Structure 1
């Protein structure tokens, strides 16, 4: 079953940006995180801990870094990587090991899967790019089996004593790197603003709790600008 709904509103703008940056997305992630991005993706997969032979879903799979890490970590599992950007999926499908993942074009706001279809869900940098944060997380709760876990990699607004320095660094260097590395300052100006304007882990945790998730936790990364969150759907 597929879902080819055309993004509208903010979704249309974000879709256009990710179609545009697909060719240099991995390179920019490497540069912006000083090489840490793939390590975080492996940690996301490792925190999933699904049952043997489980069904796993990676949302906003992009170029497939988390999905491929999950496929390597759990070779007996069936991994599905979903994204609304066809260009991102094309990049993912061309990577070594891509045959181990089922790639699907779909919108995270309206997932084309039955209730309680997956034993675990991962996602990378999805939530800051959606219009209805609660609705997208509600969809994940719907398709997750009882006892299943979600693990989220997301940007995080800096806080504490380092906030002024990190704010300045993100505002200046992310668009500059976009210009130097990708020749695309405008797209990375959007990514800079969405990073600084996004919700705190505490806010996401409150939404997850309100939806019914339990055992919620998180760990910040890279001067507090990124975070890995996890939560479990009760049995």
Structure 2
């Protein structure tokens, strides 16, 4: 099954109205992102959804191009009160409109378990970054064994939901597999964490080498 922008467009309005599910985990993530943000950073966000994180981080960056492959998500993002240094764009990581080597930070949150070919995406991110640039991500790792009853049951139900069109493509990635994809694309991992710990939503800061 391939990722489907139409699925995300259909749920974009509801998604925009949904509260953050785990506020402490989100705040912890934002704190760590800000701690690593270089002065005057040119930032690319992949899978920006309805734009709340890009707008949250806008004061800490020179500029942010926030992208999503769903036009519905970008429409919702543009409807939010904006920031002068944030541009929303309907695009995916492979869009030729994104120039190689010009970004100081590329970030993607709650995204890469939804990407069918993560190694190819990581390789493209490496190309988009300037030398020494940072890749900052947080990814749900549903391939881990210690998910607990609730998330273990969800993992079993997802294929049925996909079959009836109620769920998107999902990769059941492990933390080790995710980190191997990142380092295999030419990155050095400099920080990790789990926000939250269950299911592990694995935070990674990696430097292009």
Using the size of structure 1 for normalisation, the TM-score is 0.74
Q: Does 1:114 find its partner at 2:99?
A: yes
Q: Does 1:61 find its partner at 2:83?
A: no
**Contact 1:47–1:151, Cα closer than 8 Å, also in 2:** no
Q: Deviations over 1:181-224 (max 9, x none)?
A: xxxxx66x525x72xx4211211111111121013442112323
> Which structure 1 segments of 5+ residues have no match?
1-8, 175-185
Q: Does 1:88 find its partner at 2:67?
A: no
How far apart are residue 81 of structure 1 and its match?
0.6
Q: What is the CA–CA distance in structure 1 between the aligned matches of 2:146 and 2:178, rounded to whole Å?
A: 22
1:42 aligned residue = 30
Closer, same or farther in 2 for the Cα pair 1:199/1:47, shift >3 Å? farther
1:202 aligned residue = 176
Closer, same or farther in 2 for the Cα pair 1:98/1:170, shift >3 Å? farther
SS at match of 1:190: coil
2:151 aligned residue = 166
Q: Deviations over 1:47-103 (max 9, x none)?
A: 5422x22211111111112211221233xx111111111111111112223433011
> Which structure 2 segments of 5+ residues have no match?
159-163
Query: What is the alpha-carbon root mean square deviation over aligned residues?
Result: 2.8
1:212 aligned residue = 186
Q: Does 1:134 find its partner at 2:108?
A: no
Using the size of structure 2 for normalisation, the TM-score is 0.83
How far apart are residue 161 of structure 1 and its match?
4.8
1:6 aligned residue = none
- Kindly indicate which of the two structures has a greater share of residues assigned to helix: 1
Closer, same or farther in 2 for the Cα pair 1:161/1:82, shift >3 Å? closer
